[in-house]
């Protein structure tokens, strides 16, 4: 009688580094709430966004979403008034809050897109093999569908309709097939450039 024992897949160092580096990457972006000078890291993100051959249309949509977040925070904060016209009031706290939140969200969009641009197949497959319920891989799958929709849809109304449809009917599975067995060198160059830039900005004295 043979026992059916499922063997755990070997430890995937590439997947481990991918997760750890992205966690620290996201934590660095949180520093934007402490000092806006860290928003300069978005220049690194934009450079690699273009380098990885993403569409300009997607870049425009990223900035559009970020701008909406900025506006939502700009007019709904109390504090020191710096501009007032009729019923429109802009406070210093609102301006800073709007910039912080819009830059942070924009950074997360770039982070996720740039990290998965050439590695989505290997990452999705690696996560599914270690996560029976596929919670993390499904989350990535939904994000990729979100990116796909905002890059192809012509209007924000159409994007919202598509996302509602996906939520109600379930998401199609992003193809996880890939010929690459390891995470590409571009990913590590991207992370090295980002963290080195973060250290440089840390020592910059910008008021």
The 10s digit of each residue's pLDDT in 134-189 is 556 566 666 666 666 666 655 666 666 665 665 566 555 444 454 456 788 899 99
Give phi and psi for 206, each to the nearest 5: -115, 125
pLDDT tier, 129 (very low <50, low <70, confident <90, very high otherwise): low
Q: Which residue has the tokens 């497959």?
A: 125
Residues 150 and 147: their CA atoms lie apart, in Å, by: 5
Domain ranges for the chain = 37-117, 119-176
Predicted confidence band at 26 (pLDDT cuts at 50, 70, 90)? very high
CB 101 within 8 A of CB 73: yes
Beta strand extents in 65-191 (DSSP E only) = 81-85, 88-91
Cα–Cα distances (Å) from 99 to 5, 11, 23, 113, 203, in that order, read 54, 41, 22, 21, 22
pLDDT above 90 coverage of the chain, percent: 32
Is this structure's pTM higher than 0.85?
A: no
Q: Do 58 and 147 meet the contact criterion of CB atoms below 8 Å apart?
A: yes
Segment 114-132 shows an average pLDDT of 69
């Amino acid at each position: 009688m043979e026992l059916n024992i499922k063997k755990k897949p070997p430890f995937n160092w590439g997947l481990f580094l991918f997760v750890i580096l992205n966690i620290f990457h996201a934590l660095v972006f949180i520093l934007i709430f402490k000092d806006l000078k860290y928003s300069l890291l978005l220049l690194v993100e934009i450079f690699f966004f273009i380098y990885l051959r993403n569409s300009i249309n997607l870049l425009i949509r990223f900035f559009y979403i970020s701008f909406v977040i900025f506006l939502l925070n700009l007019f709904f904060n109390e504090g020191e008034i710096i501009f007032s016209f009729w019923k429109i009031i802009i406070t210093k706290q609102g301006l800073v809050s709007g910039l912080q939140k819009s830059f942070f969200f924009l950074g997360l969009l770039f982070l996720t897109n740039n990290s998965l641009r050439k590695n989505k197949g290997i990452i999705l497959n690696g996560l599914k093999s270690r996560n029976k319920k596929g919670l993390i891989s499904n989350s990535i799958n939904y994000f990729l569908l979100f990116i796909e929709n905002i890059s192809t849809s012509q209007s924000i109304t159409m994007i919202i309709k598509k996302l509602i449809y996906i939520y109600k009917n379930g998401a199609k599975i992003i193809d996880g097939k890939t010929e690459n067995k390891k995470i590409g060198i571009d990913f590590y160059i991207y992370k090295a450039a980002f963290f080195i830039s973060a250290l440089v900005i840390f020592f910059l004295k910008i008021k």
